[in-house]
Amino acid sequence: MNPEQLISQKVKEAIVSLYGVDPESNLVQTQATRKEFEGDITAVMFPLLKISKKSPEQTGVDIGNYINANCPDVENFNVVKGFLNIKLSWKYWLNVFSVIAASEDFGQQPESGKTVMVEFSSPNTNKPLHLGHIRNNLLGWSVAKVLEANGHKVLKVNLVNDRGIHICKSMIAWQKLANGESPASSDIKGDHLVGKYYVAFNNLLKKQIEELKAKGISEDEAEKSAPILKEAQEMLVKWEDGDNDVVSLWKMMNAWVYEGFEKTYKRMGVSFEKTYYESETYLLGKALVQEGLKKGVFYQKEDGSVWCDLTPDGLDEKLLLRADGTSVYMTQDLGTAHQRFSEYNLNEHIYVVGNEQNYHFQVLKLLLKKLGFDWAENLYHLSYGMVELPEGKMKSREGTVVDADDLIENMVNTARETSLELGKLENMSPEEQNYVFEILGLGALKYFIIKVDPKKTMLFDPKESIDFNGNTGPFIQYTHARIMSILRKAGEMNITSEMSRNELSPKEIEIIKILNLFPEKIREAGKEHSPAIIANYAYDLAKEFNQFYHEVSILKEESAKARSQRLVLINSIAQVLRKAMGILGITLPDRM
C-alpha cells in the first residue's frame, strides 16, 4: 500500500468514526504534500465539509487527531487552511525501503494480458535515416519498453516504405548517372548511396522545370510535365505490373539501403520483432478499397480514381486509388492495419509518427470504422513534434538533411572531447575509453531527445546534451558510476551492505520517497505513452543522490549500522537508475 492509499484509508476510517458516514471514494482526495509545507501526504478537507458540518480547519484537526491516535505510521500532522498535512514516521519509510531493497523486479507491473503493437521508424528506401528518424526510433523503442514494464506483451514492428514514386526517382537517377556505382565500388554506405541519387534526381528535375519555364510554361505545368518526372511515374506503373528489369533494379538498390539501415539501427540499439514491407502489403489495401466500393462506402470518378467523401464528417474527400490504378499511402495503411489485427489479437496499435500526419491518422481511423472494423478504436497515433537545431543544418552527406549517422558520430566525438577536457577516464585503457565515449555520446543523444514530452517540438543542442552537470544523460551516467565507485571502495574496506533498522535521516527519507515513486511513474508513463516521465524521474533521483552524497557521510560514517544501511540505499538507487535508463535504451557505466 503506497502512502496516499494508506492515508486515504485512514481518512475514511476517521470520517466513519467521527461523523458516522461512510464517504464516497471521490470525496477523499489526497496528494503529495507541497515542498513548502511540512508533511508527506496532504488530505483535502473541502469535499468533506457537508459531512462534518464544520469549518475546513476544524475538520482537518478532527481527522488529524484521529489518524495520529490510531495509526502508528503517522508521526504528526498540521492543518493549513483546508489542507491536512500528515507526516509519516521514519519507521514507516524504513519499512518501505526494506520492500524496495528486497524486490528484484521493483517497478515492474504484473502481466496485464494485453498485447500492444508499436510501429516506428517507417523509413523510405530512397535515403538514409535522418534526425527526425532518430527521435522517431528512440521514442518508439522507449514507448515499447515502458509498455513492457507495465506488463503488456509488446510487438515492435517496422513498416518499410520500399515502393512508390520516391524509390523510382532514385532508380531513374542511378540509371542515368551512376555508371554502375555500388556501395562496394564507392565505399559508400548503401542508404547514403541511394540517397545521393535521390538528391541527383531532384537536381535534374529542377533543371528541367527551369528549362520549361524559360519556354513560357507555367511553373505548375512545368512541374507536372517535366520529362524525368514522367519517367519516374512510368517506372512506378512498370513496377506494379511486375516488369522484370525494373523489379531487378529495385531489389538491388533496396538491398543496399537495408544493409545501411541495419548498421544505423544496431548502433542506436534499436531492433524489431517484425518488419513489414509496403511492397508486400499495398495490394491488401487495394482489396479493401474494392470492398468499400461494393458497399458504397467509396466511389469512383470518371477518370477511374477511387475516393471517399468525408465532408459529412467535417473532413474532405480522400483519394484511395489514383486514376492509373496505383495506390497511395492511405491504401497501404488500410491494408496493413487489417493484416495486423488479423494476425494478432491486439488490444492497442500505436503508430509513432510525426504530428504533420495527424490528419492522415484521423482519416485512417474513420475509414476503417466506415468499413465496419470495430477494432479501429484501438488505433492510437503517438503524434510527436519536430526536432530543431540551434545552428540550423549540421554537416550532412545528403542534401539539406541532418543525417543520423553523422549526428551519432558527432555526439560520440563530442563526448570524447568533453571527457578529455574534464580529465575524466584518464585511468582507463584506450579500449575502455572508446566504450565509454560511445555510451556517453549515445546516452546524451537519447536522453536529450526522450526527456522532452513527445507532443512538443524540441530544440536539440548537441553541446548542451553532453553536459555532466545538467538534466542530461551523462549526468545520470556519471551519478551511477559514482555510486558504483563507492560500493567498490566499501568492498575493498570489507564494509558490509545490509539493512540494520537504523533510524533514517531526513535526507535518506527524501531519497526513499523518490525511489518509492518509481512504480507510479512506470504506470503514468504507460498511460500517457510518454517515456519523458521516466527520463525526468531518473534525473530527479540522480540529483537527490548527489545532494545526499555532498551532505551525508557514507563510508566515513561512525555508526557501522548507518554505514551498512546507507550502502543498501545507494545500491537501490543504482538499481532503479539502471532500470529507468534501460527503458530509454541508455547504458550506465560502472566506471568513469
Question: DSSP letters along 303-329, please?
Answer: TS-EEEE-GGGTS-EEEEE-TTS-B-H
Q: What is residue 284's predicted lDDT score, i.e. its pLDDT? A: 86
Nearest-angstrom CA–CA distance, 408 and 267: 9
Nearest-angstrom CA–CA distance, 287 and 203: 37
Calculate mean pLDDT across residues 425-434: 88
Span 1-57, pLDDT tens digits: 789 999 999 999 999 999 999 999 999 999 999 989 999 999 999 999 999 999 999
Q: What are the CB-based long-range contacts (under 8 Å, 24+) for 106-110?
A: 106/518, 106/519, 106/575, 106/576, 106/579, 107/149, 107/518, 107/519, 107/522, 107/576, 107/579, 107/580, 108/149, 108/151, 108/522, 109/149, 109/150, 109/151, 109/519, 109/522, 109/523, 109/526, 110/151
Characterize 388-421 residue by residue with b for buried, 16 or more Cβ atoms within 10 angstroms of its Cβ, and e for exposed: eeeeeeeebbbbebbbbbbbbebbbebbbebbee
Calculate mean pLDDT across residues 145-151: 98
DSSP classification of residue 282: H
Q: What is residue 397's predicted lDDT score, i.e. its pLDDT? A: 37
Give the SS3 label for residue 84. strand
On whether the CB atoms of residues 568 and 497 are closer than 8 A, the answer is yes
DSSP string, 380-406: EEEEE--EE-TTSPPP-SSTT--BHHH
The cell 508521526 sits on which residue?
Answer: 75
Asked whether the predicted pLDDT for residue 523 surpasses 70, the reply is yes
Asked whether the predicted pLDDT for residue 213 surpasses 50, the reply is yes
Contacts of 39 (CB under 8 A, 6+ apart): 33, 77, 78, 85, 86, 87
Q: What is residue 401's predicted lDDT score, i.e. its pLDDT? A: 65
Which band of pLDDT confidence, cut at 50, 70 and 90, is reported for residue 396? Answer: very low
On whether the CB atoms of residues 537 and 580 are closer than 8 A, the answer is yes
Nearest-angstrom CA–CA distance, 136 and 385: 10
Q: What is residue 425's predicted lDDT score, i.e. its pLDDT? A: 78
Nearest-angstrom CA–CA distance, 118 and 147: 10
On whether the CB atoms of residues 342 and 288 are closer than 8 A, the answer is no
Tell me, what amino acid is at 382?
Answer: L
Q: What is residue 565's predicted lDDT score, i.e. its pLDDT? A: 95
User: Closest Cα partner for 466 from 447, 485, 489?
Assistant: 447
Which band of pLDDT confidence, cut at 50, 70 and 90, is reported for residue 492? Answer: very high
Q: What is residue 278's predicted lDDT score, i.e. its pLDDT? A: 87
Compute the residue count for the chain. Answer: 592
Contacts of 396 (CB under 8 A, 6+ apart): 402, 403, 406
Nearest-angstrom CA–CA distance, 422 and 419: 5
On whether the CB atoms of residues 204 and 230 are closer than 8 A, the answer is no
* Interior angle at CA 527, CA 86 and CA 441, nearest 5: 100
On whether the CB atoms of residues 66 and 17 are closer than 8 A, the answer is yes
Percent of the chain with pLDDT over 70: 98
Asked whether the predicted pLDDT for residue 512 surpasses 90, the reply is yes
DSSP classification of residue 112: -
Q: What is residue 571's predicted lDDT score, i.e. its pLDDT? A: 97
Calculate mean pLDDT across residues 242-258: 98
Tell me the pLDDT of the chain averaged across its residues. Answer: 94
On whether the CB atoms of residues 23 and 34 are closer than 8 A, the answer is no
On whether the CB atoms of residues 310 and 317 are closer than 8 A, the answer is yes
DSSP H helical segments within 20-164, as ranges?
A: 49-52, 56-70, 90-102, 131-149
Characterize 528-544 residue by residue with b for buried, 16 or more Cβ atoms within 10 angstroms of its Cβ, and e for exposed: ebbbbbbbbbbbebbeb
By 3-state DSSP, what share of the chain in percent is helix, strand and coil, each rounded to 5?
A: 60, 10, 30
Q: What is residue 395's predicted lDDT score, i.e. its pLDDT? A: 38
Q: Among 108-122, 157-171, 223-237, 322-336, which stretch is predicted with the lowest mean pLDDT?
A: 322-336
* Interior angle at CA 458, CA 452 and CA 460, nearest 5: 100
DSSP string, 210-248: HHHHHTT--HHHHHHH-HHHHHHHHHHHHHHTT-HHHHH
Domains assigned to the chain:
3-88 (3.30.1360.70), 115-207+242-388 (3.40.50.620), 404-583 (1.10.730.10)
Nearest-angstrom CA–CA distance, 118 and 352: 7
User: Closest Cα partner for 447 from 286, 583, 543, 557?
Assistant: 583
305-to-330, 365, 366 alpha-carbon distances in Å: 14, 21, 20
Nearest-angstrom CA–CA distance, 97 and 515: 8
Give the SS3 label for residue 118. strand
* Interior angle at CA 404, CA 401 and CA 410, nearest 5: 105
Which band of pLDDT confidence, cut at 50, 70 and 90, is reported for residue 393? Answer: very low
On whether the CB atoms of residues 334 and 359 are closer than 8 A, the answer is no
Which band of pLDDT confidence, cut at 50, 70 and 90, is reported for residue 391? Answer: low
